[in-house]
C-alpha cells in the first residue's frame, strides 16, 4: 500500500502539506504554553508584591478594618540623602505626611530619621509642611526619633517636631552649611589642553574650577552661605527655644552623640521609635506610612537593594587573594 501511495500522483505535495500542518499545530501549542507560563510568572510577581509591599501600593487599605488597630502612632521615615532626586524628597515626603496626619486612627506621629543631611531647600520645604500640618491637627503631637544619624538638613527637619529623641550613640547636629568646590587652574596647561570659555555677564564663570578664584567671588559665595546658615540657626532656635544650652557653641558644624546632645538641649531624651510610642505616647501600635510606588518601581527598588546588600556582603567577607 505504501508503494501505491507513493506512486499516487501528487503524494509529495500531500505529504508536505501534512508535515507543515503538523508543524503549525506544534508551534501554536508551544506558543500557548509560552503565553501561559509568562502569565503565570506575572501573576506570581504580582502576588509577591502584594504580600511584601501591599501597604505601599495601598492594597491593604481594603482590609484596614481587620488589620489596622483603631488607634496607632503614624511613622514616616526620613532616610538617606535629602534631595529632590532621592527617595527622601520633599514632594513625596510631604504627601506622605499629609496622609499620615489625616488618617482616622493617627493619635501621634513619629518622624523616624536616619540621614546625614542634604539639600537645605528640600529640608525647609519639609520642615514648613510639618509646621503647617501641626497647625491643622493640633491634637496630634509630633516626635522626631533619630536612628544612626540625624545631622545637618535632617536635624533641620527634626526641630519641627514637638520633641526629639535619639539613641545614646546616635550622631546629632552638624548645624552649618558647606559648599564643595575644587581648583585645577594649572592642570590643562600642564597636559597641553587649550580651554575656551564664552560667557555673557561678568560673573557667569563664578567658581569655574579651571579659572583662578577671584577674591570678590569668594566673598560673594561666603555671603550666600552665611545667609543660608543664618536661616538654619533661626529655625533651630525657634524649634528648640530655651531648651538649648545658651553657653554652648552649638552652631559651629560639630556633631555630638545622643547623650551629649541631650545635655546640650539638642534633643529631649533617649529612646527608639518603639520606646517613645510605648512609654511617652502610650500607644504601642505603629503604622508606617510610605510614598506610594508603582509595582514596577517597587520591583526595581527591591532588586537594587538586593544587589547592594550582596555587594556589601562580598566587601565585608574575607576573600582569598
Q: Which residues are catalytic?
A: 152, 204
Query: Contact 22/30 with Cβ under 8 angstroms?
Result: no
Residue 171 neighbours by CB under 8 Å, 6+ apart: 148, 149, 150, 151, 255, 256, 257
Q: How many CB atoms lie within 10 A of CB 246?
A: 7
Question: ∠16-21-24 over CA atoms, to 5°?
Answer: 125
Give 251's Cβ-side CA count (13 Å radius): 16
Query: How far is Cα 160 from Cα 134, in angstroms, rounded to an integer?
Result: 9
The conformation of residue 279, written as its DSSP 8-state character, comes to I
Query: How far is Cα 55 from Cα 64, in angstroms, rounded to an integer?
Result: 10
Query: How far is Cα 246 from Cα 243, in angstroms, rounded to an integer?
Result: 9
For residue 78, give the nearest of 112, 127, 55 by alpha carbon: 112
Q: Which three cell numbers stand for residue 273?
A: 521609635
Query: How far is Cα 202 from Cα 65, in angstroms, rounded to an integer?
Result: 64
For residue 151, give the nearest of 257, 268, 272, 234 by alpha carbon: 257
Question: ∠194-198-200 over CA atoms, to 5°?
Answer: 160
For residue 80, give the nearest of 297, 291, 318 by alpha carbon: 291
Amino acid at each position: 500500500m505504501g508503494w501505491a501511495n507513493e506512486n499516487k500522483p501528487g503524494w509529495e505535495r500531500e505529504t508536505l502539506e501534512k508535515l507543515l500542518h503538523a508543524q503549525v499545530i506544534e508551534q501554536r501549542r508551544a506558543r500557548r504554553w509560552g503565553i501561559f507560563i509568562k502569565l503565570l510568572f506575572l501573576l506570581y510577581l504580582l502576588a509577591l508584591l502584594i504580600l511584601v509591599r501591599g501597604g505601599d501600593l495601598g492594597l491593604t487599605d481594603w482590609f484596614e478594618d481587620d488589620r489596622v488597630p483603631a488607634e496607632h502612632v503614624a511613622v514616616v521615615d526620613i532616610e538617606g540623602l535629602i534631595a529632590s532626586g532621592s527617595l527622601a524628597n520633599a514632594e513625596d515626603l510631604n504627601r506622605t505626611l499629609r496622609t499620615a496626619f489625616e488618617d482616622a486612627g493617627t493619635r501621634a506621629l513619629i518622624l523616624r530619621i536616619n540621614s546625614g543631611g542634604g539639600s537645605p531647600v528640600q529640608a525647609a520645604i519639609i520642615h514648613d509642611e510639618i509646621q503647617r500640618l501641626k497647625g491643622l491637627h493640633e491634637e496630634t503631637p509630633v516626635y522626631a526619633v533619630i536612628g544612626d544619624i540625624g545631622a545637618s538638613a535632617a536635624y533641620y527637619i527634626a526641630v519641627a517636631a514637638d520633641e526629639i529623641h535619639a539613641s545614646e550613640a546616635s550622631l546629632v547636629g552638624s548645624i552649618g552649611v558647606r559648599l564643595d568646590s575644587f581648583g585645577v587652574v594649572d592642570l590643562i596647561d600642564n597636559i597641553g589642553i587649550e580651554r575656551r570659555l564664552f560667557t555673557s555677564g561678568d560673573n557667569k564663570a563664578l567658581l569655574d574650577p579651571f579659572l583662578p578664584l577671584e577674591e570678590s567671588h569668594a566673598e560673594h559665595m561666603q555671603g550666600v552661605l552665611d545667609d543660608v546658615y543664618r536661616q538654619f540657626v533661626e529655625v533651630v532656635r525657634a524649634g528648640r527655644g530655651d531648651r538649648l544650652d545658651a553657653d554652648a557653641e552649638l552652631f559651629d558644624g560639630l556633631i555630638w552623640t545622643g547623650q551629649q546632645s541631650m545635655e546640650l538641649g539638642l534633643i529631649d531624651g533617649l529612646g527608639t521609635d518603639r520606646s517613645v510610642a510605648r512609654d511617652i505616647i502610650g500607644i504601642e501600635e505603629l503604622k508606617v506610612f510610605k510614598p506610594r510606588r508603582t509595582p514596577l518601581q517597587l520591583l526595581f527598588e527591591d532588586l537594587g537593594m538586593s544587589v547592594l546588600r550582596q555587594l556589601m556582603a562580598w566587601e565585608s567577607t574575607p576573600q582569598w587573594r
